[in-house]
Chains A and B, each alone.
Chain A
């Protein structure tokens, strides 16, 4: 008997792309070729060269350095968003799904109401209350992401709480919190993992979108969406200004989608 195994291209390409992007962000923590905020009037709209591999922008800032910086910020906001959404989503979903009853009804109707708004619109409202900036965008998007995670976790808890292993845990004397977070929660991970990955992609795009609209990461901080927004004026004169941040966003989302697809294939 021979084991025929098709190479998991999704996983390979996905991890290479994601690895590259994450490496870019990590390196930017300690080193960028130039100070991403340093202006240099002599290099305004400088073309692609060895000194500036992606050229320079309207202030003469090195685009490559700013893309690195922007990748870091975008990733940071996206991770924060997903973290907030997941943690609160798990809490909300676990309690409503496990206990049910009137609390569940109320929280889930609120959840539905929030869910009815496009998440970016909701985030816009929250940002207008909190003010803009990196952390506020994270909180705003995070809140907007809670309902979708809460739903998934709730559905899993609803399903699991009826299973005999939960009854058996209760007969052992386990308390509700222990049953919820030690016994049931690990069984939701496989479903949760795929939605976290999709959520991460949405967060990247949402952050880019909000920064593009000027309410996300504030200047002079770089963000990929912010750079796109600044570049639109110079789209024809200096296309590289818009091209590279856009390319990184595409690669980031593509890489992550492929990776999550690859992981789910692997676990089958």
Chain B
């Protein structure tokens, strides 16, 4: 088992009253598997993902339980150890490709950033790697994109760049938080295809967070349905869609307008 989360609870402490946002979250992720976390706003899906990525502030958030990556607990390990996993073995892409890239840095520098942090490659080697990963995410003419700024790219291109910079170290786990929500439908379909391809080629496990059940259905092998901080249901994709156990899951599935062609 690549990643195992056991009884994760997340409690916020930056408000006047402590607030629990995730209760008893359990998850296991095998190598090469794509697992979807489905839920609406306030379901705790993003919080769980951020916790796994080690991006939650240690001070404001009280967390209990275990997040085992290769047998190592990310919640209790040393900060420096956590840093070495981040970007290297676990990386993340976000919903908003407009704000998740630094507007004043060139694409090339941003894609190479984790190479600079985690490896001792020379400038030339880094450049070669960056170009090849930009190729992998199907960016046409990567040499010229390398020298561009984020604002010169479209939303879909930016999301591809984000994926490139997340994938450049060939992480074992890619956490994708609503990566297509802000994109146009045709672009959305392309990004989903790309994620599928990367999963096949590089055996990267993907944790796909989304509110969109139709996306989860096409992409994921298994899914977890969350509501108000709790896991309601978990299972294989076909099982969940064909025989949902919970009323809420049914409601979610029925909320997708049918398209009979």
Contact = CB atoms under 8 A, between A and B. Distances in A.
SS of B interface (majority): loop
B261 interface: no
A3 B19 CA distance: 11
Interface string A166-186: 000000000000000000000
Interface residues of B, number: 3
A4 B18 CA distance: 10
Contacts, number: 7
A5 interface: yes
Contacts of B18: 1
B16 interface: yes
B17 interface: yes
Nearest to B19: A1
Contacts of B16: 3-5
B20 to A, nearest CB: 10
A77 B18 CA distance: 47
A1 B18 CA distance: 7
Nearest to A4: B16
Nearest to A2: B17
Contacts of A4: 16
Nearest to B16: A3
A2 B17 CA distance: 7
Contacts of A2: 17
Interface in A52-109: none
Nearest to A1: B17
Interface in A1-29: 1-5
Interface string B1-33: 000000000000000111000000000000000
A5 B16 CA distance: 7
Interface string B149-173: 0000000000000000000000000
A1 B16 CA distance: 10
B21 to A, nearest CB: 14
Interface of A: 1-5
7 contacts: A1-B17, A1-B18, A2-B17, A3-B16, A3-B17, A4-B16, A5-B16
